[in-house]
Amino acid sequence: MKFNSVEEVQVRLGDVNYIPSREIATVVFLADSTQKPVLIEGPAGVGKTELAKAIAKSQGRELIRMQCYEGLDEAKALYEWEYAKQLLYTQMVKEKINTVIQDSTSLAEAVDKIAEQEDAFFSDRFIQPRPLLKAIMSEKPVVLLIDEVDKSDPEFEAFLLELLSDFQVTIPEIGTRKAKSIPFVILTSNNYRDMSDALKRRCIHLYINYPSHQREKEIVKLKLPGIDDILLESLIQTIGKIRNLDLKKRPCISETLDWAKSLLVLNIDRITPEVLSDTLNMIVKYKSDTELVKKNLTKIVG
Amino acid sequence: MLDPILNFVTSCRASDLKISTSEVLDCMRHLTLIDPLDEPQFKTTLMTNFVKTRRDMARFDELYNLFFHEIRPEEKKGTGELVRRDIKDAVERMKKEAGESDLMNALMEFLGGNPAPLLEQMHELYTREEEKPKAFKIKNNMGQLASRLEIMLTLSKMKSKVMTITGEMYTDAESVTKAEVDAYFNRMLDRANDMLTGDPKPLNDSLIQTNSVEKRLNELGEVSFSSLTPEDIDHMRSIIDQLVRKLKDVASRRYSAKNRGVLDVKKTLRNSAKFQGVPIEIKYKNKALRKGRIITLCDISSSVWAASRFMLNILYALQDCFSKVRSFIFISKLAEVTEFFEKFEINEAIQKTLTEADIEYNVPTDYGETFRDFKKDYLHDLNTKTTVIIIGDGRSNYMNPQAEILGEMRDKCRRIIWLNPEPMHVWHTGDSEMFTYKSYCHEVRPCQNLNQLMDFVHELVL
């Protein structure tokens, strides 16, 4: 079901437990209305993938996810021929081939007759659709999430261009397949490398940053309704101060949530330097970062 | 609606944001879907269409504020229309006296509400290439400073000019309209001055900064390159040899795993003919090796040479793992040394690099000049498979850093990694341009000792 206004996007995403900023809602609305792919950039863990899931949920669409990595090729992303099935069928219909060619008088005629049947082996029957083809061939519109597109190779990126601008793909053996329904396409990137201008031009761009103080509070409250307000306030402030340090990997929303959960499990109602030090491994992921936070414990919790 | 958007796009392009026509079309289509009077929605629509990378966001914000807020005279009830008309009159009068000067005309346009020509002038100023003085060898960035000074002087001249003109236009010195017009012109001229003095720098949140503290080797690994004794260096050589052998093994294992491709139906069927059509032997398509390409730019001025030597050592040994490694050294001019590395044994290669490469030793380091050289001769050689590694301290003796060329390189290659042999805490001191260059790199890391170097090579290959 399409979104009718920016406000509606905010409400409907809120209903499925995703609190979007006004900017995010505007971009989602525009992408939905004009069927443009969205390229989402931002640090890891700020809710890029989550947004795709929330859109799928709120629109009642299926989410088809494709994780990109170095060396990903068409066979894994688009389609593959089911060789085993093809070989099996060849064996099984061997007898049938004899009956097809039994009336032919010359070898050339027999070959022609077999050639007429050739399409049977390169047809939709033997195609194993992968995420991209699945998204295009789906009768109902879906949400297609192409995750971490920056990890893929430039060749694969070039291959995506046809899909993103015309919503069609070309399979050499059987021709072009046009989308039955236009999917809502979301690409995410952690900026491991810059995407080409051609790809960027086909997408509208959204940068999701760490959430504001207020939004992060709302998110935690939404996911953990039982949390005490005073604890929540000091938790968000502490995370904010940790983010300001020169860390290798800054804590993101999922880490805030993990930390909040563990504080609840441990029955802690006040954050002290000792509590932070004991539960630090929920927030930072590198040894050097742990050392840095420990050095600044009293500054952070004070 | 179309006109202001197109003017805005022109201004954006004048400050080097790349906006294509199809993006303008998309934006116009999007604007019909939202309420353009709701500013957050309006701004988001422009931003989502015109800015396609985080790095350009700060510049976009700046331009957006300038265009949609600052150069519009405030709408005040009653006087608004009058003020606008008077501003226009005053600008027309000044234009007549301005003459042919490009700068003057750009400033007039700016006062009249069109910032594009001035932005273009600023952009040209920031990216200007210094002319080489013929008579003496000392280089500088005086050209840039002189033009900046010229604009500043023109600005202050215009300030007094505006006062005279508004003085002539209004007989009543207490007029509210005059005060508003004066305030507008003053604000705009101050704004132009701010634009001139503040350097535009791209954001780069996703920059990877690595400063590994793990101690992996024995203590030798933590000793800075510059304080190694000759015995230490000998000892280190053997460690590097071991490391390189290990890395080669890992790399070849990775490739052999990658080599096993998908089933090759044609070959399998052809082969099955031997066995009455039963595909007993399954054949696989072999994939071609996909090897990365590396281009290294290595500063060999005295302050960093100790580290560069080790780096070159490793790169020399790693040539097997990469399809193409091109190595350059520089002080103020670039010289290619790939050939030495291909032909000679490592020690001889380094010796030849030092003695036979076309490098002038008695000049100050100049990164700007080096990048310019690179752009002229080798920029076309970069592609999306190339990793550019720059080894140097980024100390450019206060000469024009030409960081935008590094930006162009970034646009064309897979990643730029900067290894700095100085400790991180001195990067922003003195003539170090590290903070300027940092925003154009994908990754910066200090590389002062063997442990850090090993970390880097591990991550590069694996």
A39: left (phi over 0), alpha (psi -120 to 50) or beta: beta
Angle (nearest 5°) at CA B305 between B303 and B309: 160
List CB contacts (< 8 A) between A209 and chain B: 205
* Full 3-state SS string of A132-152: HHHHHHCCCCCEEEEECHHHC
Other residues' Cβ atoms within 10 Å of the Cβ of residue B387: 21
CA A182 to centroid of chain Cα atoms: 17
| Rounded Cα gap, residues A187 and A147, in angstroms | 6
**Which among A89, A150, A204 is the top mutation candidate for probing chain B, defined by the most B β-carbons within 10 Å of its own β-carbon?**
A204
What's the longest Cα–Cα distance across chain B? 109
Are the CB atoms for A216 and A253 separated by under 8 Å?
yes
Instruction: Return the percentage of chain B with pLDDT > 90, whole number.
Output: 11
The label of the residue with tokens 């750009």 reads B106
- CA–CA min distance B61, chain A (Å): 14
The pLDDT score that the predictor gives to residue A29 is: 95
- Give the largest CA-CA distance in chain A: 96
Q: Which residues of A touch B26 (CB under 8 A)?
A: 34, 36, 204
Long-range contacts made by residues B23-30, C-beta under 8 angstroms, separation at least 24? B23/A201, B23/B49, B23/B50, B24/B49, B26/A34, B26/A36, B26/A204, B28/B1, B28/B2, B29/A34, B30/A30, B30/A33, B30/A34, B30/A204
Min Cα–Cα distance to chain A from B382, Å: 13
Any B CB within 8 A of A7 CB: no
Q: Given an 8 Å threshold on Cβ–Cβ distance, is A194 in contact with B40?
A: no
A-B CB pairs within 8 A amount to 106
A42, A207 contact by CB (below 8 A): yes
Whether residue A254 lies within 8 A of chain B, CB to CB, comes out as no
| Tokens linked to B275 | 């066995």
Q: Please name the member of B40, B52, B277 whose beta carbon is closest to the beta carbon of A200.
A: B52
pLDDT tens digits, one per residue of B33-67 = 998 889 999 999 999 999 988 888 888 998 898 88
Of B30, B53, B209, the CB nearest to A30: B30
CA distance A114 to A116: 5
For residue B163, give the amino acid letter: M
Give the CA angle between residues A212, A215, A217 to the nearest 5°: 110
Q: Which of A10, A78, A126, A207 to mutate to test the interface with B (most CBs of B within 10 A)?
A: A207
Residues in A touching B49 (Cβ below 8 Å):
204-205
Tally of CB atoms within 10 A around B365: 23
Which one, of B234, B293, B243, lies nearest residue B457 by Cα?
B243
The residue among B357, B299, B349, B296 whose CA lies nearest residue B325 is B296
A201–B22 CB contact, under 8 Å: yes
Which chain B residue's Cα is nearest to A5? Answer: B34
By Cβ distance, the residue of A6, A204, A287 closest to B49 is A204
A contacts of B442 (beta carbons < 8 Å): 192-193
Which of A3, A4, A26 would you mutate first to test chain B, the one with the most B CBs within 10 A? A26
A258-to-A45, A133, A216, A253 alpha-carbon distances in Å: 12, 36, 13, 9
Q: What are phi and psi of B351, to 5 degrees?
A: -60, -45
- How confident is the model over B381-396, as pLDDT tens digits? 898 888 898 988 888 8
Place of tokens 């300038």: B66
For residue A190, list chain B residues with Cβ-Cβ distance below 8 A.
Answer: 206
Q: How far is B260 from chain A (nearest CA, A)?
A: 12
Digitized pLDDT (tens) for each residue of chain A, 302 residues in all: 789 999 999 999 999 989 899 999 999 999 999 999 999 998 888 889 999 999 999 999 999 999 998 878 877 888 888 878 877 887 788 777 778 788 888 888 888 887 777 677 777 788 888 999 999 889 999 999 999 998 888 888 888 888 888 888 888 878 888 888 899 999 999 877 788 888 999 999 999 988 888 889 988 988 888 888 899 999 999 999 998 887 878 888 889 999 999 999 998 888 888 889 889 888 988 888 888 888 888 888 86
- Which candidate from A83, A91, A203 shows the least CB-CB separation from B263? A83
Q: Are B431 and B395 in contact (CB under 8 A)?
A: yes
B40·A193 Cβ contact <8 A: no
b/e per residue, A117-139, with b = 16+ CB within 10 A? eeeebeeeebbebbbbbbbbbbe
Q: A275: closest CA among A256, A297, A258, A253?
A: A297
Residues of A in contact with B44 (CB under 8 A): 22-23, 26-27
Return d(Cα A74, Cα B207) in angstroms, integer: 30
Residue B456 backbone phi and psi in degrees, to 5: -65, -50
Distance CA B49, CA B29 (A): 11
Does B259 score more than 60 pLDDT?
no
**Of the listed ranges A98-102, A109-113, B163-167, B317-321, the one predicted with least confidence:** B317-321
Is residue B285 pLDDT above 70, yes or no?
yes
Average predicted confidence (pLDDT) for chain B? 79
Helices B21-31 and B39-50: crossing angle in degrees, nearest 10, is 160
> Testing the interface with A: which of B21, B30, B435 to mutate, by most A Cβ within 10 A?
B30
Q: Which is more confidently placed, A63 or B448?
A: A63
Mutate one of A205, A209, A245 to test the B interface: name it (highest B CB count within 10 A): A205
Q: Closest approach of chain A CAs to the CA of B132, in angstroms?
A: 34
Question: Looking at CA atoms only, how far is residue A253 from chain B in angstroms?
Answer: 17
Radius of gyration of chain B (CA): 29
Secondary structure of chain A in the HEC alphabet?
CCCCCHHHHHHHHHHCCCCCCHHHHHHHHHHHHHCCCEEEECCCCCCHHHHHHHHHHHHCCCEEEEECCCCCCHHHHCEEECHHHHHHHHHHCHHHHHHHHCCCCCHHHHHHHHHHCHHHCCCHHHEEECHHHHHHHCCCCCEEEEECHHHCCHHHHHHHHHHHHHCEEEECCCEEEECCCCCEEEEEECCCCCCCHHHHHHCEEEECCCCCHHHHHHHHHHHCCCCCHHHHHHHHHHHHHHHHCCCCCCCCHHHHHHHHHHHHHCCCCCCCHHHHHHCHHHCCCCHHHHHHHHHCHHHHCC
Q: Considering only CB atoms, which chain B residues are within 8 Å of A288?
A: 211-214
Of B73, B151, B158, B76, nearest to B113 (Cα)? Answer: B73
Two tokens, residue A297: 């414990």
Per-residue confidence band for B217, with pLDDT thresholds at 50, 70 and 90: very low
B129 pLDDT band, cuts 50/70/90, is low
pTM above 0.90, yes or no: no
pLDDT of res. A56: 95
Listed in sequence order, the residues at least 6 apart from B351 whose beta carbon sits closer than 8 Å to its beta carbon are none
On whether any CB of chain B is under 8 Å from the CB of A201, the answer is yes
Q: Is the minimum CB–CB distance between A109 and chain B shorter than 8 Å? A: no
pLDDT range class, residue B213, cuts 50, 70, 90:
very low
Span of A1-15, A61-75, B76-90, B173-187 with lowest mean pLDDT: B76-90
Residue contact A22–B52, C-beta within 8 A: no
Establish if A43 touches chain B: CB-CB under 8 angstroms: yes
Q: How far apart are CA B296 and CA B378, in angstroms?
A: 12
Whole-number pLDDT of residue A54: 95
How large is the average pLDDT for residues B290-312? 78
| Cβ neighbour number for residue B12 with a 10 Å cutoff | 23
How distant is the Cα of A148 from the closest Cα of chain B, in angstroms?
A: 14
More confidently predicted of B370 and B95: B370
Using CA atoms, how far apart are residues B63 and B188, in angstroms rounded to an integer? 14
Higher pLDDT: B258 or A105? It is A105
Residue bearing tokens 């609305």: A29
What is the structure's pLDDT at A239?
92
Q: What distance in Å separates residue A95's CA from the closest CA in chain B? A: 13
pLDDT band at B214 (very low <50, low <70, confident <90, very high): very low
The whole-angstrom distance between B261's CA and the closest CA on chain A is 11
Q: Do B277 and A91 touch (CB under 8 A)?
A: yes
Tokens describing residue B103: 């700068």
Contact B44 A26 (CB under 8 A): yes
- Chain B partners of A75 at a C-beta cutoff of 8 Å? 262
**Which of A201, A149, A174, A191 has its CA nearest to residue A36?**
A201
CB contact under 8 A, B48 and A27: yes
Burial B366-386 (b: 16+ CB within 10 A, else e): bbbbbbbbbbeebeeebebbb
